[in-house]
Amino acid sequence: MKQQFELIERYIEGDLTSEEAKSVEQLIASDPDFKNEFNLRLDVNKAIGEKDIMELRYKLSMIHRQETAHSIGTIRYLFEKKWHLVAASITILVIVGSFLLNNLNNQGPDQLFEKYYSSENAVFTTRSGENSENSDLTVGLQKFQKQYYNEAINLLKKNHDNVVSQYYLGISYIETKQFTEAKAAFHYILEQESNLFTEQAQWYKGLCLLKLDQLDEAKQLFTSIMNSNSIYNNNASEILKKLD
């Protein structure tokens, strides 16, 4: 574990040779435990800030130098005479470490939604000319592209039985914080036969369930996504771990 920690730290700091860096990257790709440890180091670094990291590393380095420079008698004196300060320092480190780990590993539904939601995933995929006979849908999609979500909603909701309309209607509802309505739009898509938007509808419905704090249903849906060939299965797996 110590060797892994040092290897990851050296990789993050850019202190490895190109061959050593390739070995670390292979471990990240092939070893889930190593990958989790690597991601945790990145998250911790991000959480406490680069300035704090440098200060912490400097202090740890100074402590290490002092320990190696002084005799065993000096270290014994430190613990005998300053034991209460040492104990207090250790307690603070444990509390801070526990706080960071809990915040990194146990994120609430709202935080998970903010982390994983992106309207950029709602790729505009309609084929040229397919909506030429439906002016409400055509104009609604144009409004969606321009991010005029309220105007898009007024037009798209007129097409109750169209999965294209319901999909972009659902995203528009999310963008306007109407999560119950968004959930209903994605649910409609999932009730239809397998279609172009099935995977996306599952994913966005799951995120809506997080915002609505309907966690049991959210876990069931994310479990289904995780066990499928969905493009979102890895993200679903991460969310499930953080909900436990």
For residue 132, the tally of other CB atoms under 10 A from its CB is 9
> What's the pLDDT at 123?
55
Helix ranges restricted to H, the chain: 2-13, 18-30, 32-48, 50-69, 72-81, 83-105, 109-116, 135-145, 149-156, 163-175, 179-191, 198-211, 215-226, 233-243
Over residues 168-224, the pLDDT tens digits come to: 999 999 999 999 999 999 999 999 987 889 999 999 999 999 999 999 999 999 999
> What's the pLDDT at 236?
95
- Cα–Cα nearest to 195, from 147, 227, 144, 161: 161
Q: Is the pTM of this model over 0.85?
A: no
> What is the distance between the alpha carbons of residues 227 and 241, in angstroms, rounded to a whole number?
14
Tokens 């999310």 locate to 174
What does the angle CA 84 – CA 89 – CA 93 come to, to the nearest 5 degrees? 150
Structure tokens at 165: 């309309």
Show the low-confidence residues of the chain (pLDDT under 70).
1-5, 43-107, 120-133
> What is the distance between the alpha carbons of residues 177 and 153, in angstroms, rounded to a whole number?
12
> What's the pLDDT at 45?
65
Tokens 């995929």 locate to 125
Walk me through the domains of the chain, giving residue ranges and CATH numbers.
2-106 (no CATH), 114-243 (1.25.40.10)
> What's the pLDDT at 73?
53
> What's the pLDDT at 87?
53
* Cβ neighbours of residue 154 closer than 8 Å, sequence gap 6 or more: 140
> What's the pLDDT at 41?
74
Please give the single-letter amino acid code of residue 30: S
> What's the pLDDT at 210?
95
Q: What percent of the chain has pLDDT over 90?
A: 43
> What is the distance between the alpha carbons of residues 9 and 17, in angstroms, rounded to a whole number?
13
> What's the pLDDT at 112?
92
> What's the pLDDT at 127?
43
Structure tokens at 191: 């009730």
> What's the pLDDT at 67?
52
